[in-house]
Amino acid sequence: MSVTSGAESAEPLEVWIDQDLCTGDGICAQYAPEVFELDIDGLAYVKGEDDELRQQPGQSVPVPLTLLQDVVDSARECPGDCIHVRRVADGVEVYGPDAD
């Protein structure tokens, strides 16, 4: 099953993690290690193309189109419901606990 419609697939997306809800299971890092990583505190964080973790609350990174399915699967499988994927253009969450 495709995760996006034709119109949505070309739109830039970004992802962030709410560490207050993170359970540290690491499922996200298994699905998309290029985007997610567990830190020494046992919580997951997003990381940019520079491989640096974004540790400030609400910091996001772009979702590479080639990894979109893996990021979406991470959001769907996350036991903490803490992964948020939103459109860059309007900030609307398209995958994650606050998506319609």
Q: Is 24 exposed, middle or buried (0-12, 13-18, 19+ CB in 10 A)?
A: middle
Which strands sit side by side in the sheet containing 61-62, from one edge to the other?
A: 61-62, 13-17, 83-87, 93-95
Query: Taking residues 70-85, what's their average pLDDT?
Result: 97
List pLDDT tens digits, range 26-68. 999 999 999 999 999 999 999 999 999 999 999 999 999 999 9
pTM of the model: 0.88
Cβ proximity of 28 and 96 under 8 Å: no
